[in-house]
Amino acid sequence: MKTFSAKPADVVHKWIVIDAEGVVVGRLAAFVATRLRGKHRPDFTPHTDTGDHVIIVNAEKCVFTGKKREDKRYYRHTGHPGGIKETSPAKLLDGRFPERVLQNAIKRMLPKDSPLARQQFSKLRVYAGTDHKHEAQQPELIDFKSMNSKNSRG
Output the pLDDT for position 154.
63
Q: In the chain, what are the domains?
A: 14-151 (3.90.1180.10)
Output the pLDDT for position 60.
94
Q: Which of 55, 53, 36, 61 is nearest to 133 (CA)?
A: 55
What are the φ and ψ backbone dihedral angles of 16, each rounded to 5 degrees?
A: -130, 150
Alpha-carbon distance of 143 to 154, in angstroms, equals 16
Q: Where does residue 11 rank: exposed (0-12), middle (13-18), buried (19+ CB within 10 A)? A: middle
Output the pLDDT for position 85.
96
Q: Which of 130, 120, 154 is nearest to 32 (CA)?
A: 120
Interior angle at CA 93, CA 23 and CA 117, nearest 5: 70
Rg (alpha carbons) of the chain, rounded to whole number: 17
pLDDT in tens, the chain (154 residues): 888 899 999 999 999 999 999 999 999 999 999 999 999 999 999 999 999 999 999 999 999 999 999 999 999 999 999 999 999 999 999 999 999 999 999 999 999 989 999 999 999 999 999 999 999 999 999 999 999 999 988 6
